[in-house]
Amino acid sequence: MNRFYILALTVLSFACAIALGMGVAAANGIQSMTRLDEFWIGQFHKSPVMFGLWCTLLTVVWGALLGILTDQILKLIGLDLTSRETGEH
């Protein structure tokens, strides 16, 4: 039964994301590009290898920042993940 709920939730999530994406595209009519979009598209067309390296580097940095932020939030709410003590009640 759990698998059914997980599958249903996954399908519903994808359906909502697709519907929202289609609604935004239809509302805008013609999609406008920002300077950041133009920059990344230009980088891809100049050198796909360099574009891949930039994406990899930014993904690592973003992941590290999110990890540090999450760790700080967990410490604020009282969960210390650096402790190896296990306790059973």
Could you identify the residue written with the tokens 């059914």? 4
Count other Cβ atoms within 10 Å, centred on residue 27.
7
pLDDT at 22: 61
In this structure, what are the phi and psi dihedrals at residue 81, rounded to the nearest 5 degrees? -80, -10
pLDDT at 86: 67
Helix (H) or strand (E) holding 19: helix 2-28
Per-residue pLDDT band for 88 (boundaries 50, 70, 90) equals low
Could you identify the residue written with the tokens 């994301």? 17
Look at the pTM and tell me if it is higher than 0.85.
no
Amino acid at residue number 46: K
